[in-house]
With several copies, the nearest count.
Chain A
Amino acid sequence: MHRCVRIEDVRREARDVVSILFRDPCIALPGQFYMVWLPGHEEVPMSVSFTGMLKGITVRAVGPTTRALHSLEADDRLWIRGPYGRCYSIRGSRPLVVAGGTGIASLAPLVEEHPGDVLTLLGARTSEDLFFVERLRASSEVWVSTDDGSEGHAGPVTDLLERAVEEHEPDIVYTCGPEAMMVKVYAFASERDIAVEASLERYMKCGIGICDSCSVSGYRVCRDGPVFSDELTEIYEFGRFRRDPSGRRVPI
């Protein structure tokens, strides 16, 4: 069954992004996700974006369910189960975090909790889509890029990799965001023998590792992931295709 939690706070983070904060006594680790249900709507996976006393999720409005989540206010109720899945491991002393778009939702608590000297690369479409910048600056160095150049570097966040590796000399790379971006980050770091942890997204139904809907090359994103590391070499589907709700392959 779901736990029904009362919303303590809703924060507008960017044009179409809100954070929803609530009290949940369960332990939630960076990289894990909740299955979130608003009765009358679909249940959807959402990364844990706040892991403290107040837990939270950070939602980009992209369709009917996420729009419904955007209509929530403090004191409304939300139904959750989880947190599920494998978290990021805390390793290395000079981590590089590479986030694209909403991917920063799952990485932000990692940046906060990681004891190393963190450099965060944060990419977004425009300055209006950027969020968590202040939050991240409190515990790491942050380099920003936007596709349209409205803030920071103009271009994809992966443009910053070269310089980041040179200047920061990372011993671990964490990444979450559009899969094409993560594939680039993974290739870049692998060439340089730097370990990578990437958080994947697939269509989720059960969230608990039994329905096979989120599986990639025999790994369940909901239970063996969403954070993968060494397994990425075996995950043929990484960057190539995903499956629709019927299990058919769709190119990425």
Chain B
Amino acid sequence: MNLGVRLSGIELRNPFLLASGVLGETGESMLRVWNAGAGGVVTKSIGLSPREGYPNPVIVVLPHGLLNAMGLPGPGIEEFAEEVRTAVEGGAVVIGSVFGAGPDEFARLARRMEEYGVSAVELNLSCPHARGYGMEVGIDPEMVREIVEAVKSAVGIPVWAKLTPNVADIRPIVEAASGADAIVLMNTLRAMAIDIRARRPVLSNVFGGYSGPAVKPVGVRLVYEAYEVTDKPIIGVGGVTTGEDVAEYLMAGASAVQVGSAVYYRGVEVFRLLAIELSHIMEEEGFSTVQEMVGLAHG
């Protein structure tokens, strides 16, 4: 079964990409995921300078998903050159994820990623920013539009905008981001866990992002809503664990998916398993290309 897709001008051998922040901090891990069968790998979101991230605990394994507050650790964009190059030279399709405080920072980071040889750049629009209450940059349509425009005019490679689900209405944000070459939905849901015996939040940062099987119905909804207001390809993220989940996201309107927490649930082998499972579904349901399934649920 041919699982290839064309996404914002990039040919992918299959529609399962590694989601940002999961095994995307070292070049050799990215290569390993690529060799395990991913259609592409998105790097950990990288900022200008090195960051240690929050102190442990930074992850909570919840009954139905994962909660994390890593605090965007990373070596900073300069030192990250080596990691990207290792992955790119190893043959992987690499998408460079970046986060910044505003349009200029995003543009600078994207340019560096382009120099390192990534196939596309993904803008993590879910990091905290100063304006308005310390919420995420991605909840402010104007900020989203400015960042996307700044990066679009700074680089020649495709630009993907990754949005946060923590908004009342995703549609104006998707519209604001539609200058990008693809929309990535979604980042994690803001959530928390309290240990009742410790009588305190588990994460050192108190709040974290919720991912994994529990959040899939929210991700599918966002992709479905986005599909109705944009012509740009959409990449579905959130709880993708099996081939059925992939098919659901495709029918909601995604052209590809990203896989994060499932690396915990099913191991790095998840990419190979997804290919088997999706092929099987396509055979049974009479699809010969992935593209045929995209948006089918919109009737």
Contacts and interface: CB of A to CB of B under 8 A. Distances in A.
Are chains A and B native binding partners rather than an unrelated pairing?
yes
A207 B193 CA distance: 18
A43 B195 contact: no
B262 to A, nearest CB: 10
Contacts of A1: 60-63, 193, 195, 202
Given A44-B56, A206-B58, A39 B198 contact: yes
Contact of B260 (A44, A210, A219): A210
A211 B198 contact: no
Nearest to B63: A1
B138 to A, nearest CB: 22
Interface bin, chain B: 35 or more
Interface stretch (B22-30, B98-106, B161-169, B272-280): B22-30
A2 interface: yes
Contact of B25 (A42, A215, A219): A215
Contact of A212 (B26, B50, B61, B264): B26
Contact of B23 (A77, A204, A215): A215
B37 interface: no
Interface string A53-92: 0000000000000000000000001010100000000000
B264 A247 contact: no
A212 B44 contact: yes
Contacts of A212: 22-26, 29, 44
Interface string B15-35: 000000111111011011000
A8 B76 CA distance: 45
Nearest to B262: A210
B81 to A, nearest CB: 12
Nearest to B19: A210
Interface string B75-87: 1100100000000
B119 interface: no
A247 B198 contact: no
B202 A2 contact: yes
Given A79-B198, A213-B25, A218-B31, A245 B73 contact: yes
A228 to B, nearest CB: 14
Interface in A220-252: 220, 243-248
A190 to B, nearest CB: 22
A75 B16 CA distance: 32
Interface string B185-215: 0000000010101111010100000000000
Contacts of B53: 205, 245-246
Given A205-B53, A218-B31, A211 B195 contact: no
A10 B82 CA distance: 46
Contacts of A248: 50, 75, 79
B23 A210 contact: yes
21 contacts: A1-B60, A1-B195, A37-B56, A37-B202, A39-B198, A43-B56, A208-B264, A209-B23, A209-B263, A210-B261, A211-B21, A211-B23, A211-B58, A211-B68, A212-B25, A212-B29, A212-B44, A217-B28, A218-B28, A247-B25, A247-B50
Interface of B: 21-26, 28-29, 31-32, 44, 50-53, 55-63, 66, 68, 70, 73-76, 79, 193, 195, 197-200, 202, 204, 260-261, 263-264, 267
Interface of A: 1-2, 4, 35, 37, 39-40, 42-44, 77, 79, 81, 204-213, 215, 217-220, 243-248
